[in-house]
Structure 1
Amino acid sequence: MSIFKRRLAVPGAAVAALTLAALLLPATGAHAAPPPADSCTQNWSISSGQGYANGKWCNYNTKVVGTVHDTKADGRCPYVRGGLSNGGYVDSDWAGGKGKSRPITLRAPSGTHFTSVSMRSIGC
């Protein structure tokens, strides 16, 4: 009977040790590396009757960053549309009201990249 108890005790001890290791590992494990810095190499600039926008193409055209500006009190708010290599698009937030600006960041879905940026507007 004592052999039977030892056989149960060893697996139980192993399970307890593995559970303890699993709980402590995330707290003492290596920290994740920070994401790599963006590589923004080329400027872009566009304008329309409602405003203008400018910024940079980043990470092999998979990210577009910049600012959109509303320059006209006409009830229209400008935004940027990034055209994608698959025919789709990604829209930025809009800048609302004359004199207002808004930072923009557009990210292309996996497997695509941006091929163009254009200026659009929405009633606001």
Structure 2
Amino acid sequence: MSKRRLAVPGAAVAALTLAALILPATGAHAAPPADSCTQNWSVSSGEGYANGKWCNNNTKVVGTVHDTKADGRCPYVRGNLSNGGRVDSDWAGGKGKSRAITLYAPSGTRFTSVTMRYIGC
């Protein structure tokens, strides 16, 4: 009859200790810094209006877009970027409907303005 050992107790303890030291360092994530949203913005058009705040040195735009007219047009916000690009929000559809929006500028750019646009809906 042969005797087999499944594991050497010292090696098992060492492996578990090593895992306990490594996993928190690689698996834990620090909380992102809080947004700095200090300046207000607002825009409007015949289809609706939107308002919110500029955040993080104009790299993030937060707010709400509102549809105020039953005209088959659904308003949204367009964020215009420093490199000539743009980022569009989701649209609010149907008179009286609103939608929260968050726009992020791609790395190396900032928002220079926001405008109201609409789509047929």
Does TM, scored on the shorter chain, surpass 0.5? yes
CA pair 28-88 structure 1, distance change in 2 beyond 3 A? closer
Question: Which runs of 5 or more structure 1 residues have no equivalent in the other structure?
Answer: 1-12
1:81 pairs with one of 54, 78, 81? 78
How many residue pairs get aligned? The number is: 111
* CA deviation map 1:85-106 (0-9, x unaligned): 0000000000010000000000
* Cα distance in structure 2, aligned partners of 1:88 and 1:119: 16
Q: Is 1:56–2:27 an aligned residue pair?
A: no
1:41 pairs with one of 34, 38, 41? 38
Deviation at 1:47, TM superposition (A): 0.3
Map 1:8-27 → 2, pairs under 5 A:
21-22=18-19, 25-27=22-24
Deviation at 1:114, TM superposition (A): 0.1
Deviation at 1:27, TM superposition (A): 4.8
- Aligned partner of 1:93 in structure 2 is 90
Amino acid at match of 1:65: V
TM-score (norm 1): 0.80
* Cα distance in structure 1, aligned partners of 2:75 and 2:37: 23
2:118 pairs with one of 115, 118, 121? 121
- Matched-pair identity in %: 77
Q: Is 1:109–2:106 an aligned residue pair?
A: yes
Deviation at 1:30, TM superposition (A): 7.9
TM-score (norm 2): 0.82
Q: Which has the higher helix share?
A: 1
* Cα distance in structure 2, aligned partners of 1:76 and 1:68: 13
* Cα distance in structure 1, aligned partners of 2:26 and 2:64: 39
Amino acid at match of 1:58: C
- Aligned partner of 1:7 in structure 2 is none
